């Protein structure tokens, strides 16, 4: 049985248009279509990992590159203060089952989140 591609896989494969703000060999950064802050982008690995809970030691490079891509994007865009969020599972707000980081900025972030 062939699994349907996630929307992120379709964007990575250029089957669906998106505003890609930055791209590396391992990841893409794009605007969130339902922003929760003035700046809300997604950092998505090109290699699909379904959830942060399914990551393993073989995925260490992917995980490190996601964080590096997020911080590089922030620095290049003059974003000094931001929040990084990774949702895991539907109760946590995960709607696309392809690991990704939300980078949010441009407003004060409350604590606790949620």
Q: Check residue 57 and give its pLDDT.
A: 92
Inside any domain, residue 60: yes
* Average pLDDT by stretches of 10, the chain with 114 residues: 83 95 96 95 96 92 95 98 94 91 96 80
Inside any domain, residue 45: yes
Q: What global pTM score does this model have?
A: 0.92
Inside any domain, residue 80: yes
Inside any domain, residue 16: no
CA atoms of 53 and 32, how far apart (whole Å): 22
Q: Check residue 102 and give its pLDDT.
A: 97
Inside any domain, residue 19: no
Cβ atoms within 10 A of the Cβ of 5, count?
A: 15
Please tell me which residue in 40, 51, 97, 100 is annotated as part of the active site: 100
Q: Where are the beta strands (DSSP E) in the chain?
A: 20-23, 27-31, 39-45, 83-85, 101-105
Into how many domains does the chain fold? 1
- Of residues 44, 9, 11, 42, the one with CA closest to residue 27: 44
Q: Which domain holds residue 74?
A: 24-105
> Catalytic residue at 100?
yes
Inside any domain, residue 5: no
Domain containing residue 35: CATH number = 3.30.428.10
Q: Check residue 2 and give its pLDDT.
A: 53
């Amino acid at each position: 049985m062939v699994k349907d591609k996630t929307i992120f896989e379709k964007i990575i494969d250029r089957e669906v248009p998106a505003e890609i703000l930055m791209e590396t060999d391992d990841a893409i950064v794009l605007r969130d279509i339902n922003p929760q802050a003035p700046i809300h982008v997604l950092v998505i690995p090109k290699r699909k990992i379904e959830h942060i809970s399914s990551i393993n030691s073989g995925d260490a490079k992917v995980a490190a590159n996601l964080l590096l891509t997020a911080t590089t994007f922030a620095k290049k865009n003059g974003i000094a203060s931001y929040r990084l969020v990774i949702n895991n599972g539907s109760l946590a707000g995960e709607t696309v089952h392809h690991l990704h980081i939300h980078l949010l900025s441009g407003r004060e972030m409350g604590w606790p989140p949620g």
